[in-house]
Structure 1
Amino acid sequence: MASFPAVLQSEWTKVRSVRSTVWTLAITFVVTLGVGALLSLLTNNNFDSFRGNSESPFDATGTSFSGILLGELAIIVFGVLAVGNEYSSGMIRVSLAAVPQRVTLLAGKAVVLGALALLVSLVTAFTTFFVGQSLLGTHSTTLSEPHVLRAVFGAALYLTMLCLFSAGVTAMLHNQTLALGVLVPFFFLLSPILSAVPKVKTLAHYFPDYAGSRMLLVYEQHGQPYGPWPGFLICLAWTCAALAGGALVLRKRDA
């Protein structure tokens, strides 16, 4: 029986030895920061045009996180590849031979992926925030303002949970191509469309991406179904359900 620290060490070695997983984390940082910085600069230079006659408070934090949508895509791909590479290469059989306790194996993966995703997401969130605020000039905000620090941490937690959710779905499907074929259309096509359809948008408001995006709100918007903390709990529930489903399938199915 492999000890859990040994499983963690093995999973860490797998992640850092696969170039594609390292690159997807780097892309998460670059695109989130780059797009956020560009839009913050454009907003500052064209503030009156962008704001128009809007009476709602300007969300400087949300502006700096304008690139998080592309960051979501990269972190989803990371979660899929980190689990799916073993299935596509057949190395999962070697892993299961070394660690017959399948739930322990998946738990080790989840801990390593979650820790790595959280670290990268924290660096990404705080760097993106500070760079964005520096480019917003007189329209910027600070971490000491109400709810801003919570929103920055919320951005990091959101990306982390998306990574783990994607890893759980990949463990259920046992195929990284199929997982990407399900997750990418769901998050970037189905969910936005359903959110705009009056008869079903209430259901779409409880999808993990919508719920997680509430965590980035500094100002609660009128007409929104819930705020940041319920959004966190809903997104967390989706993440736990995906990982539990992955563990169940891993126990029941052959590699």
Structure 2
Amino acid sequence: MNLVRAELRKLLGLPTAWVGLVLGTLIAPVIVLLNAPYTRRAIAAGTLTDLSDLGLRDLGVGLIGPMVLGVIVVSSEYTSTGRDAPGARQLTATLAAVPHRLRLLLAKTTALVLVVAAQATVTTAATLTLTQVLHGEHAPVPAPGRVAAAILYWTLTALLAYAITLITRNGIVPLTLLIINSSVVSVSYLLTKVTDLASYLPDIVGAQMFIRGSDFPVEVHPVTAGLVMTAWIVALLAVGAVLFQRRDA
């Protein structure tokens, strides 16, 4: 627990982590607010009839938050500590304090899960509450299971970014690819147009844990979707842990 607390303090002491926390927490509610006039008009005109995902769908734009947190918790260890010692990295001091690498990874993983789960809970509550306030009876209250699944999706997304960064030892590449894939051009979604197997990629299948109305090429039961995404994360974390164990600091 002391090690987990240390990793929590380290993570929350990073300025970039706070960028991820602020952006991830605020973007989804702001999008709900900005889209409210259009959504009201669409509901009144009858062009928006499936309201089952109202509010929940907007949570996707906030995924930049957990992605940043998942990347920075690892990449900060590989960043140069200063101009006076460009070859020195935080990881050297970390391993001197905690030589057991698997214990270190377990503590980092726990700290990341705690922070992202808390962020996801606050963001989900704020987004759904604002949706209810703005749209009233037109916004159905999601079942608790769907809300929990959305929080789990955020947490697993952070762990996906964390695992990829463990493997690459570079924060820029995975963060750039993940942000582009989630907000600009979804390569995963484009691949579903080529093969149905792409529907089981982690970001695509995971969304089916709580989203019901999207045009998914392959419909996957929410529980199955959660298991598939979790399997992806476990596999990538296992690869990252093995590489972290074998590589030099």
TM-score after normalising by structure 1:
0.85
Corresponding residue to 2:230 among 225, 236, 251: 236
Return closer, same or farther for 1:154/1:253 CA change in 2, 3 Å cut-off. Answer: same
1:217 aligns with 2:217: no
1:87 aligns with 2:82: no
Corresponding residue to 2:3 among 7, 16, 20: 7
1:171 aligns with 2:170: no
Distance of 1:74 and 1:164 partners within structure 2: 12
Segments of structure 1 that go 5 or more residues without pairing to the other structure are none
Distance of 2:124 and 2:79 partners within structure 1: 32
- Contact 1:87–1:174 (CA under 8 A) maintained in structure 2: yes
Using the TM superposition, give the Cα deviation of residue 140 of structure 1 relative to its aligned residue in structure 2, in angstroms.
1.8
Aligned length: 239
- Contact 1:33–1:127 (CA under 8 A) maintained in structure 2: yes
Distance of 1:40 and 1:156 partners within structure 2: 23
User: 1:185-237, CA deviations, whole angstroms, 9 ceiling, x for partnerless residues?
Assistant: 45443112112x2x31x121101111111112356979742121111111111
- Contact 2:51–2:139 (CA under 8 A) maintained in structure 1: no
Using the TM superposition, give the Cα deviation of residue 35 of structure 1 relative to its aligned residue in structure 2, in angstroms.
0.9
1:73 aligns with 2:64: yes
Return the letter of the residue paired with 2:12.
Answer: R
Segments of structure 2 that go 5 or more residues without pairing to the other structure are 81-88
Give the share of equivalent positions with the same residue, in percent.
Answer: 26
1:33 aligns with 2:29: yes
Using the TM superposition, give the Cα deviation of residue 8 of structure 1 relative to its aligned residue in structure 2, in angstroms.
0.8
What residue number does 2:187 align with? 190
SS of 2:219's equivalent in the other structure is coil
1:64 aligns with 2:55: yes
SS of 1:215's equivalent in the other structure is coil
Distance of 1:222 and 1:30 partners within structure 2: 27
Distance of 2:180 and 2:38 partners within structure 1: 29
Distance of 1:7 and 1:177 partners within structure 2: 27
TM-score after normalising by structure 2:
0.87
1:160 aligns with 2:155: yes
Distance of 2:150 and 2:207 partners within structure 1: 8
Corresponding residue to 1:226 among 196, 220, 224: 220
User: 1:90-146, CA deviations, whole angstroms, 9 ceiling, x for partnerless residues?
Assistant: 101111111111111111000000011001101111111111122112312225xxx
Corresponding residue to 1:205 among 195, 199, 205: 199
SS of 1:72's equivalent in the other structure is helix
Distance of 1:179 and 1:217 partners within structure 2: 25
Distance of 1:230 and 1:214 partners within structure 2: 9
Distance of 1:46 and 1:87 partners within structure 2: 49
